[in-house]
Every structure is written in structure tokens, then in C-alpha cells.
Amino acid sequence: MSRAQTLPKASCAHADTLENEFARAVITGLSKEKKTLPCRYFYDARGSELFEDITRLPEYYPTRTETQILRDHAADIVGEIGDGELLVEFGSGSSLKTEILLDRIASSIAYVPIDVSETALADAKCRLAKRYPELDVRPIEADFSRAIALPADLASRRKTGFFPGSTIGNLAPSDAQSLLSFFGRALGEGSRLIIGVDLKKDPRVLIEAYDDAAGVTAAFNLNLLHRINRELGGDFDERGFRHRALYDPAKGRVEMHLVSARNQRVVICGRSFRFRENETIHTENSYKYTLDQFREVARASGWNAKRVWTDANNRFSVHELIWPKTGRSVG
Ligand code: SAH
Ligand code: AVI
């Protein structure tokens, strides 16, 4: 019998299928020698709000920089999107960057935002409906790494994928490669993917971006403990953990951790977890690439790298990838 099946349902207040998945992920992650929690669970309603606050922080350069790149090159980026096409966005969040593209698309298209955050999808759909009354918006609340059923009436359309925000950086390069292959197969032959990728830079800039002075990123990280308390009946004491961000130059990634301030025990779903003082829960990786490193991941996943746009300071990149028409095999 798997761990998931042995979870005591009664102690998990709202144990429907998705939350059982959450419970399974939390119990598996906290049972490891080096404790981890998957970063996709940051994005409950409060987490999605906190992420939007992060995007407006002076230290968090990625959103500002990518937005400017998209604005500067919008005409080139949307250039080929024609009538009847489908724009599929992975991890769409607020869909604010999408508006930069939509403002440039003259044709009648359909837009499929995919996200795990129900509230982010609902807010975005409501705003887009007002701003673009003609746009056919079909949100999908799902994990983009799982099989995604596109609406049947839209599935045969020519597709452009949009994956901004450097969310790809939250996966290890080998997982990023698999995810990109999966997107290629899902979008189909001849499709394009416009993907935002954060670039390697001075580690001090990186650390500040993930450990801002106002403590918003700390609140975003700690919110995961509130979510566990609320949805899984956990008894985390937020004051018992501190936010930490570090840059590992060998791995080329920013890591976020929650550091236990003391020896303590926490009960979740009826299970007890022991934390030593200074022991950490590793909650997120944010990999940074050079242009060539990312092109190599894209190439290995089966995509052809076409154009790339960057800002003047080479902080961030937006790549255009093409999924080949020949049906070549990918590993
Ligand atoms: N694309 C937006 C939001 C980036 S934040 C931007 O560029 O600003 C990352 C978004 O991806 C969040 O909205 C989060 O809910 C979503 N997300 C993270 N992991 C996901 C997954 N596995 N499946 C679907 N959505 C995911
Ligand atoms: C969504 N993702 C790319 C963000 C990042 O920069 O890794 C999430 C984030 N974590 C801390 N701040 C922002």
C-alpha cells in the first residue's frame, strides 16, 4: 500500500483528490533526510497575491525586465500569430504579460491560460473579458506538467505556447528538458514557444531579488506553512521558521529555504515531523542560465532555437523556439 493510501483522512480537513495530492507531497517531502516542499504549492489565493506583490518590488528585476523586452519586441514576437490560432500559456498567473501580446494581435484567436491557481485564473479571465470582449478565453486549472486536455473544439488549431516569468527556472535542467519536450508534443508540429528565461548575473543582485528588504518574499515562502496548517490541519508556528535565500554558483541556482529557529515538532495530517534548530526545508530552486546553456536545454528537448531577445543589461531573455515539422524523435 502506498503512503498516500495510508493517510488518515479524518485529520486532513478537506481531503478531496487534489488536497490528498498536496498531503502526499508534503508528507513525502518532509520525510526526506533533506526536507523539501514542491514550489508549485506556493500558489494558493494568498500565495498568488504575494507573488503579484513580488513582481512590483524594486529588487525583483525579472518581471520588469521581461515586460520591457516583450513591449520592445511585441511586433516581432506576435508577428506570425494569425486568424483562428490558439495561444496556450503555461503558468499564466495574472496574465498581465499576455496583454502585451494580445494588444498586438489583430486576428481573432483563442487563449488557453493554464495554471494551478484557481483565483489567479478567475481574476485574469474576468479582467480579459472586459478588456478583450472578442477574445475566446478558456482557462484550465491544472498542473502543466501533466497530460493537458485542450478544449476539443480548439485542439486542431495552430498553436503558439507562451511560458513567461522564467517559471522554467523552477525546474532542474533535466526536468526542464522533459517539460519542454512535453510542451512540444502537446503543441504539435510547427508550433512556436515563446519562453522567458532569467540569466546568470552578479549573485548580489540575485540574492536581493529573493530576499527583499520589505520581507514580501519571506512572507511568500512562509505562506506555504499557513497553507499546510489550513488545508492539512498542520500546526506549524510561523515564528518557528525564517526565510533564507542563497545562490549556489556551482549549480547556477537561487535556493529558497525555511530555516527552523529551534528544535521543534510539527504535526501534519496526524503525522509528527521533527525539526532540529537550523535544519531547513528547501522550498524552491530558481535556475539561471546563459543564453547558450538554455539553447542547449531547448535543443536537447527537441525544439529548434530561432530568435532571442534580451534587455540592454543582459539580465533576462525571451526565446522563440520552433517544434520541428518532421516528427523527429526526442529522448
Ligand atoms: N506567468 C506569470 C506568473 C509567473 S508565477 C508571470 O510571468 O508573471 C508562476 C505561475 O505558475 C503561478 O501562477 C503558479 O500558480 C503557476 N504554476 C507553478 N507551477 C505550476 C504547475 N506545475 N502547473 C501549473 N501552473 C503552475
Ligand atoms: C515563478 N518563479 C519563476 C519565481 C522565481 O523567480 O523563481 C517565483 C519566485 N520565488 C521567489 N520570488 C519569486
Percent of the chain with pLDDT over 70: 93
Contact 221, 256 (CB under 8 A): yes
From the centroid of its chain, how far is CA 235? 27
The pLDDT of residue 11 is above 50:
no
Percent of the chain with pLDDT over 90: 88
The pLDDT of residue 6 is above 70:
no
SS3 137: strand
The pLDDT of residue 14 is above 70:
no
235: its cell numbers: 500546526
Nearest-CA residue for ligand 1 atom 10 is 91
Instruction: Choose the weakest-confidence range: 12-21, 82-91, 144-153.
Output: 12-21
Write down the mean pLDDT value for the chain.
92
Neighbours of 17 (CB within 10 A): 7
What's the 131 CA to ligand 2 centre distance in angstroms?
27
262: its cell numbers: 529551534
Side chain identity at 24, as an amino acid letter?
Answer: R
pLDDT at 83: 84
pLDDT band, residue 12 (cuts 50/70/90): low
The pLDDT of residue 19 is above 50:
yes
Nearest-CA residue for ligand 2 atom 2 is 167
**pLDDT per residue over 81-120, tens digit each?**
888 999 999 999 999 999 999 999 977 899 999 999 999 9
170: its cell numbers: 523552477
What's the 135 CA to ligand 2 centre distance in angstroms?
29
From 18, 37, 43, the mutation candidate for ligand 1 (largest count of ligand atoms within 8 A of CB) is: 43
The pLDDT of residue 201 is above 60:
yes
The pLDDT of residue 3 is above 80:
no
pLDDT at 147: 87
SS3 111: strand
What's the 265 CA to ligand 1 centre distance in angstroms?
31
Give residue ranges with CB within 6 A of ligand 2: 54, 62, 165-167, 169-170, 210, 217, 284, 286
The mean pLDDT of 203-226, rounded to a whole number, is 98
Half-sphere exposure of 74 (CA within 13 A, CB side): 14
Q: Specify the pTM.
A: 0.94
The mean pLDDT of 133-153, rounded to a whole number, is 94
**pLDDT per residue over 219-266, tens digit each?**
999 999 999 999 999 999 989 999 999 999 999 999 999 999 999 999
How many residues are listed for the chain in this entry? Answer: 331
The mean pLDDT of 307-314, rounded to a whole number, is 98
What's the 239 CA to ligand 2 centre distance in angstroms?
23
pLDDT band, residue 148 (cuts 50/70/90): confident
Nearest-CA residue for ligand 2 atom 7 is 286
Instruction: Choose the weakest-confidence range: 57-71, 96-110, 204-218, 283-297.
Output: 96-110
Give residue ranges with CB within 6 A of ligand 1: 40, 43, 48, 51, 55, 63, 91-93, 97, 114-117, 120, 143-145, 164-165, 167
Nearest-CA residue for ligand 2 atom 6 is 286
What's the 286 CA to ligand 2 centre distance in angstroms?
7
pLDDT at 158: 93
What's the 92 CA to ligand 2 centre distance in angstroms?
13
SS3 256: strand
265: its cell numbers: 515538532
